[in-house]
Structure formats: C-alpha cells, structure tokens
Structure 1
C-alpha cells in the first residue's frame, strides 16, 4: 500500500474503490460489534483474482539481473478483456527476495480480509463488502514447481499435478492434493538423517520448505495452477522437437529448410521467419515458436533425410497447438479430440525412440484438457500478456540509480498504478466521507493515444474500418497513380459487366472503358486483418456462399459523372470433392486439397472475410534448390553472385489449406 489516499485505492476493471480495510484482528470488541452491524446492512461480493508469478531480467538485453514479479488480474473478466494490459495490475517485485517469501505478506493480508473489506462501489456510490480470494495461479513450469513444493524433473515422480512414476509419463496418475502433500512434508520432517529426507524427497517429488500458498483455503497449488500454453506447448515441446530434428537432418536439408523461408507465402501472418531464424532456432522465443508451429509440417516435408514419423509427430503437435489456441468455446467433442491427439503424439514419439518422451513437459500436455474443463478457455489463463507486462520492469530500471533498485522499481510502478486509477475515472472517499474523482481535464487527457501508449504500451492502436482500401499506389513524386480502365490486365468485358451490374440499380448506364482507376496495395478484411495483392482470402460471393480465392488486384474505379466504386478482383480456388460433398484431404497433412482455376470474379471489399493460409504442394511439384545469379548491393556498388534459392514449381497447380493456422479451422471452411 502507498502512503497517500490515491495509493490506497484498489484498481479493478469492474469497480474502482478505495481500500478502507477493517482489520478485525487488531480491532476492539466494540469496533468488531459495530463492524458486524454494518456488514449486515451492506451487500457482500466475492472477488476472485488470478495470481501471476514469474522471474524476468531487469536488463534490456533480457539477460542476468533476475527480478521476481507478482501481478494479478480479475478472474471474472471476459476472455477478450483478459488479453488487455490495462487489466493486469502490478503487486510487487524484488531482485533479492524469493517469490514465496515475496508472496507471504500478500497471503497474510488476504487472510485478514476473510471477513470482508469495506470498499466503495463506484457504480452506485455506496459502500459494499468485498472478499478477495485467489482463484488460479498462472506460472511457468519452473515457477509452478516452486509454488507447489515440487522437486522438479529430478524426482522419481516428476509431475507436480499427479503422482505418476517417471517410467509411465505417457499417462496420468492420481492427482495430488494439499492434504497428501502436507502429510508428506510432516513425514520428511520426522526423518532423523538428511540421507533419509533426501530419499523421501526424490521418491515423492515433494520438498518440505514452508509454502504460504498451502495455507490458503480457497486455493490448491495442484489443481488450481493450470498448464500455461506459452511454456507447456510452444516453448518446451515445440523447441525440443525442432532441436532433435535439426540434429537428425543432413546439411543439404538444413539449407533447404532455411532457404524455403524466403519462398514461403507469409501474407496471412503478421510476421515471418527468416533463414537466419531457423539457423538460430535455439534462440526462439514465444512469437517465433507461435509462427513456426503453424507451418513446420510443410517445411519439414521438404527434408529428404528426415524420417516421415517426425513429420507425423509435428503434424500432431501442430494440431494440438491449434486446438489450444483456437477461438471460441470448446465442446466436449473438442476436448476428447484434444486428448486423443495428445496420446497419439506421445505414442508417435515413443515409436521414434525420441528422448522427449522422458520429459515432464510432454506429460503436462495430458493435463490441459482437464484444466480447460475446470477453468475454462485456455486464453483465460495464458501468460503471454503477463510476460509482456514484465517489459515495464525493464523500462523502469532507467529511472533508478541502481543503489536500491527493488524499492525504486516498486515505488515507480505503484505511482503508475495510481495514475492508471485516476485517468480511468476511479473514485474514492476523502477521509472516509466525500466521494472524490480525478478532474475532467485529467481524465480527458488520459484518454489520448500518447498517454494510453505510454501507460499500456502499443495496445491502443488506431481502429481499422473493415472493407476499406488503403495505401494507394504512388509515383516517384508521391502522387497517386491514375490509369485508364483499358490498361487493366483483366478483360474489359468482365469489368464492364460487373460495373453495369453494380450501377444498374440506379438505372445508370455509362461507357466504363472511358473511366479511370486507382490501384491500391492493401485493404482491411472483416477480421480487421490487412490484405494485400497475392493474398489468399475467404470471401462471400454474390450468392452469399463462402469461397476461397486469390487477390489479383484492388482498385477504385471512377466513371464519368458517377460515384467512385471499390472493386476487388479474385481468382477462384476449387477443391476436389469426395462424393460431391466434402473436400479431398492430403494423406500426410490432413489438409484440404485445392487447385487454382482460371475463373476470375469481382466483389466488393466488404465481402472479404479473412485471410487464409494456402500452402503450395512442393512434394508433388518436385520443388527444390536452384542456382541463380543474384544481385547484391554492397555500399554503393552492385555485386552479382551465384547462390542457391528455393524455387516452387509454378506449373504445379495444387495447394493445401493450412489447417494448423490459428485464425481459421478448415473443418468449417466452405470451398
């Protein structure tokens, strides 16, 4: 708690209230009776929150200078709101104190709030009683072991959630409970020698150190710490499997794997992987792993020296990751499918004789479906946004003199929390009576983009309008390029027919060949993704059917004395259908097979739904490395050098719809 009334305020998304805590343990008997009478007249709310604990670096290089960080977030927020930095609130940090010791005073304060805390409800202006409690803990694998008295991967029972033996990690065992763990701790403490204690620690996987979380009645460190998808799925199995594969393939396949990154169509992704990133795969962080797992099976299929079993294993891992990162609610069938795919993935690793089968992080995949059943969508207990919030800790280091960095950091972060409370319109009682609020000028200024970006990072970006063409083509003088319709590569008859259909409702006829058009480089789809020429998209045709096509051009047509019209030219894809109903799928990847047709159609930009990841069939097209005379620019001179590049066979017209792409699910994509 801070020293001022402002710093005593609890910042929440639901209510902004002043902390006027009633500490019953230190109150007199008369005060307790008075408090009890008041409580009977006030509404009581339970306020569950998610607790995040992590270690991060205080240096900009993200190396050394370790800080332990505690943050919280309200559990009852909608899933979309949990993905926003403004709903994550800093609690404490230290580069000296261990996380469990850092957490102890917070847990002690929560215990003192069991009878409730008298707070101000900003929506009604009335006092209420709030009972805060820990709902779930969001930790990475190492921190979760620390918070649950678990020994880690060195124990004979390496899972912190269940009691499974190290030799049976391909299945789940009896779940751990607080009572069983506390009984084990008592047995360890009763041992007379350190040798006996060490043997029991290794056998049970439990350490006897004091853990304040075991004293929280509403929280269990074993069932209420769901597996975080960032570390349990992306960073551990994904990176470990890629490292094992890179040690198997030969030098030629490593070169193919790196150079194929340049030829790959990244138009449906926010960022792309470069040849250097694959070469330095051990340095992958979350954003690299998230992209790689969505495209890995297609790139690895180009490696001739890699056993096909590893490609099948990566297909299963990509499928599991896609299920976990999918949008929308899960059905019981989805969770059963996730469990089945996870067991198939582990079984495939066992067939390959992979050493990954012995790692506890692979075993943790088996617990994710049950975590989702108990705690809801995996997005509700993700660590990505909390990890992003850790960047503020590194930023604050520039404001300290390094003499007492922990205290300086906590004070600075507390002031930022107070500032966030004030500009968000928070209310509090002045000396327990009058309700106060930040001034209108402060609240108005706080909503500006510059202030919001400073407080919440790059989260507050300009809102895009769907169906709008953006970024017109300009000449060397930065003037917008205008061309005649007769200069279009498409047939004049086709564009004329479409424009007459579009303008026919007004009873207007015009010679469209005399018009002009402005070419555009990009547009915004309904999903608010940026679409460019050459992107594959999902669109709605004139008959309201959902189809897949390739963007050929984006133009704004202006006819004489008529309003301008935005037009998108689409080259259609067609699927091979089985029995005229469902699309044919590839045997290895399980992806729908499509072909590019010669049919072109014209639609409104508003009919573009979203981007679709379409992958070329390089195996069928026999795509490989080719030598080309490539031009490089070194300082002011140009140098030509014969080098290898990966080239796709453009004469092979078969493609796959990437079913591992997080933004769409091919089971529901009509073609």
Structure 2
C-alpha cells in the first residue's frame, strides 16, 4: 500500500486539487488574429497545422483564446458552441485573485456545466470514457478549498523535462539516474551559494563573500540561468519615445491631436516640439502600442478606444504621465454579439479623443467582426525564410471595414479587469440549457438508442467475421480431405519406384 495513505488527516479525494494544465489545456482543449492584448507568443499557424498531433500546453492556451474567431463557419453549430464554452471557462480559470468567492464559484459552476452540456451535443460518449471531463465537476470545491486553480498548475514545472533530457544526453549512460541527481544537486548548491545561503564548516556557519554574491545581482545571464530575474518596474503613464534618428521632432500643428476638436489636457501644446512615442504604460502596467485596444478615464466615466497616436515632449523634460495619447473612440454596444455571445464595439461618430498618458487604465484584446464584413483572403504576402523573402506567398484576410470589433472575453490577460469594467449583463455567464436535467435525459435517451444500434452492428460484424472464419476452416478441411483421398487412390508401386527413378536421373 502507498505509505502516503497512512498520513493522518490526508484525504486524497479532498487534498488533490484539479490541475488545469492537463485537465483543461491537454484535456478538453485537445479534443475539441489579433494577438495584441493577449500576451501570447506569435501564432505560428503553419507549424500548428504541420504538427497538429504533437502540440503542447502553450499552443492549446493560445488556441483556447482565439480559436472561436477563426473556425466560425467552418465547424458545425454544436462544435462551435463547445469551442465558445471552453474559451469562456478558460479565461475565468486563469486568474490570480478572486475578489468575490461566492459569485466566482457560481460562475464556475455555470461555465463547467456549459462545457459538459456542449460535449453532450457533440459526442456524449466522451462523458463516459474521459476522466478529465468528470474531474471538471470538482473545480468549484477545490477552488473554495485551495484558492485560484492556477496555483495548482504544473505548467511551469514542465520546463524541467528539458533539463532532465540534457542531463541524460550528456551522461555516459552508465548510471543516468545518478548523473541526473548529481547535476541537480550541483545546480541547487550553486543557487544556494550565490543567493547568500549559509553552510557549516566545522562549528561555524559561513557564506560566500560579497564579490561572489554580487555576481547574481550584476550578471543578467547568470540570473536567467538560475531562474531568478528582477521584476521589471513599469511606471504608469510613462512613454518610451522612438529614437531621434527614426523620428525627428515636429510641431504641434503636424500631429493628429491638433486636428481633434476638444480642449487639450496640456498647457500650451503649441509652444512645444513633439516626438512620436513607441509605447505608453497603463495603470495595470501594460505596455500599450499603436492600435492597442484600451479602456481609459474620460473625465468622470470610463471609455474604450484604440490608440492612434502617442506623443512625448521633445527633450523629455516632463514627468511620467504628462504625455499625450490620441484615442480612436468606440462604443460598447448594449447587447452581446448574436454569434459569439460576446460584447462588441462600434466606431463612434465623434472620431478621436486626446487624453493624458496617465489616464490609460488597461489593455485588452479585440477581434474584427469578419462575419458582418464578410472578410475574405484577398491579399497575399511573401514568406520570409532565414531573413530573406522567398517566392512563396501566403494568403491574408483583408478586412472590408474598420468599424465593427468584438471584445475577446476568452483572453486570459486582464480578464478580471475586463469583466469588472463592462456591464454585468454582458459578462455574466448564461447556461446553455436552463433545464439541464431535461437536456441530459434527452441526450441519454438518444445515446442509449445509438449505443444499442452500435452494439447490434458490432454483433452483426462479429457474427459475419466468425462465419467467414468458419467457412475458411471448412474449405480448408475439405481440401485436406480431398488431398487425402487422392493419395489413397495412387499406385503404391509408383511410390516405391520413385527413389529408383531419382537415382537413375542422377546417374
């Protein structure tokens, strides 16, 4: 028996929380753009298609956030409903803080129920044979007991597989387990020494000298190798300007902000020379760039828009937060999108608004509504290989308008802030079926009929296979009997003479 079961107070059914890497990303996602605001690596679509059966967690996490916008119209309604349900659940699970536990758990129960009901519509047998779907029903219990589900994710520890592999490759393979243990103990010893740890020499506890300890603080390469790096501090409202060689200073009249009909929140802007900014930092410490979607403070209310221009005073004599940002205004519609069940945006007639850089709240993800625009792959782009353009080309989607966008609530980054700032009726999860029991009974009845028909087909196939085997055996038996009868009818003298005939031919 496992000795862990003998520990007093241990209840494996209660003390083993749901692990979302293998349950969500490598579980239900596996069976089932615009990347600004998602904080995901570049989407390598051709790579994913080529190695579609060997994707890992990071690929499924990206697909979970954007798949719904790419497969609309390519999959069945039931499959599309499943993709939306999984995306909605994933964005709520990947949170670091829970402000209202009761409301959060209520949303989790609704979203998990939607995923299971959507699986029922696609393939109800998955509920019977896939343990990971059953484990989802325990999510709310584990979150109440252990906190946010992301705390129990083993995604970070998957990187140690590469270290294990390298330790084995560079071993002499005489005792690989010992070599791996020795290497890891050496790494831990180095971490202990460089981070100021103590060890005992005789009766005295000692540590490394100050010059050795300074190595960890002064060498970024050592920091990265040892998994310790200082947190980059972003100052809200600060602007990083483009270099003077690429963007020389220009007058206020040459900026887009000067064309906006409003009171500019800056003293005497016409007396200053301005430079183009590459990025600006929001209150949530997001690095926002051109065409980033943001929420910002507009006088006494919150507004939404897209960054059209970032301006910093030439000479950088102002404090952080006193730059200017020109925003292309959009409006959040009062209803959800009919297909995606997400809030959507429409361009405002006002056009633009100029704000101070310190008024940006946070960045979020929005995708173009290609359903309304009926966007098609009309443009092409040359493929780059080893930093050189090739003769091969790939097709690109050309958006037919620039007015309609969908707020991507499936995105993980700033999902909590997005759900907090939007009206509750736009973000509150709604069950796919209000009477789930009736739906389950209907699906179960259909499944029993299908399973009965499937078993009947299997039995018929088995009977046909057995009949074919018996027919082959009977045919083989008759052939053997026929050969035996032929042997009995032969002249025995001929058999006796055969050796003599062979001997004569040899002579």
Q: CA deviation at 1:570?
A: 0.8
| Structure with higher helix content | 2
Q: 1:348 and 1:612, CA in 2 relative to 1: closer, same or farther beyond 3 A? A: same
Q: 1:606 and 1:490, CA in 2 relative to 1: closer, same or farther beyond 3 A? A: closer
Q: Distance in 1 between matches of 2:193 and 2:387?
A: 54
Q: 1:643 and 1:403, CA in 2 relative to 1: closer, same or farther beyond 3 A? A: closer
Q: Deviations over 1:266-312 (max 9, x none)?
A: 11122232331442432321111111111222222242xx2212111
* 2:89 is aligned with 1:308: no
Q: 1:401 and 1:669, CA in 2 relative to 1: closer, same or farther beyond 3 A? A: same
Largest Rg, 1 or 2: 2
Q: CA deviation at 1:490?
A: 4.2
Q: 1:275 and 1:638, CA in 2 relative to 1: closer, same or farther beyond 3 A? A: closer
* 2:481 is aligned with 1:481: no
SS in 1 for 2:336: coil
- Which structure 2 segments of 5+ residues have no match? 424-507
Structure 2 residue aligned with 1:507: none
* 2:29 is aligned with 1:238: yes
Q: Is the Cα contact below 8 Å between 2:17 and 2:152 reproduced in 1? A: yes
- Which structure 1 segments of 5+ residues have no match? 1-209, 242-263, 504-509, 577-582
Q: Distance in 2 between matches of 1:567 and 1:222?
A: 55
Structure 2 residue aligned with 1:274: 44
1:325 to 94, 115, 130: 94
Q: CA deviation at 1:366?
A: 1.1
1:657 to 387, 394, 407: 407
Q: Deviations over 1:471-511 (max 9, x none)?
A: 5156xxx455222333224444658x41xx422xxxxxx5x
Q: Is the Cα contact below 8 Å between 2:295 and 2:304 reproduced in 1? A: yes
Q: Is the Cα contact below 8 Å between 1:552 and 1:570 reproduced in 2? A: yes
* 2:283 is aligned with 1:526: yes
Structure 1 residue aligned with 2:187: 416
SS in 1 for 2:138: helix
SS in 2 for 1:447: helix
Q: Distance in 1 between matches of 2:79 and 2:338?
A: 15
Question: TM-score scaled to structure 1, two decimals?
Answer: 0.56
SS in 2 for 1:320: helix
Q: Distance in 1 between matches of 2:180 and 2:391?
A: 53
Q: CA deviation at 1:350?
A: 1.5
Q: Is the Cα contact below 8 Å between 2:238 and 2:281 reproduced in 1? A: yes
Q: Deviations over 1:7-48 (max 9, x none)?
A: xxxxxxxxxxxxxxxxxxxxxxxxxxxxxxxxxxxxxxxxxx
1:620 to 358, 372, 377: 372
Q: 1:213 and 1:513, CA in 2 relative to 1: closer, same or farther beyond 3 A? A: same
Instruction: Give the alignment of 1:510-589 within 5 angstroms.
Output: 510=268, 512-513=269-270, 515-543=272-300, 545-558=301-314, 566-576=323-333, 583-589=334-340
Q: Distance in 2 between matches of 1:393 and 1:363?
A: 32
Q: CA deviation at 1:659?
A: 1.4
SS in 2 for 1:282: coil
* 2:119 is aligned with 1:352: no
Structure 1 residue aligned with 2:343: 592
* 2:20 is aligned with 1:223: no
Q: Deviations over 1:196-216 (max 9, x none)?
A: xxxxxxxxxxxxxx4232233
Structure 2 residue aligned with 1:44: none
Q: CA deviation at 1:420?
A: 1.9
Q: Is the Cα contact below 8 Å between 2:252 and 2:258 reproduced in 1? A: no
Q: Distance in 1 between matches of 2:184 and 2:375?
A: 54
Q: Is the Cα contact below 8 Å between 1:473 and 1:520 reproduced in 2? A: no
- Number of residue equivalences: 414
Q: CA deviation at 1:237?
A: 0.6
Q: CA deviation at 1:618?
A: 1.5
Q: 1:542 and 1:352, CA in 2 relative to 1: closer, same or farther beyond 3 A? A: same
Q: Distance in 1 between matches of 2:278 and 2:317?
A: 26
Question: TM-score scaled to structure 2, two decimals?
Answer: 0.73
Structure 2 residue aligned with 1:454: 225
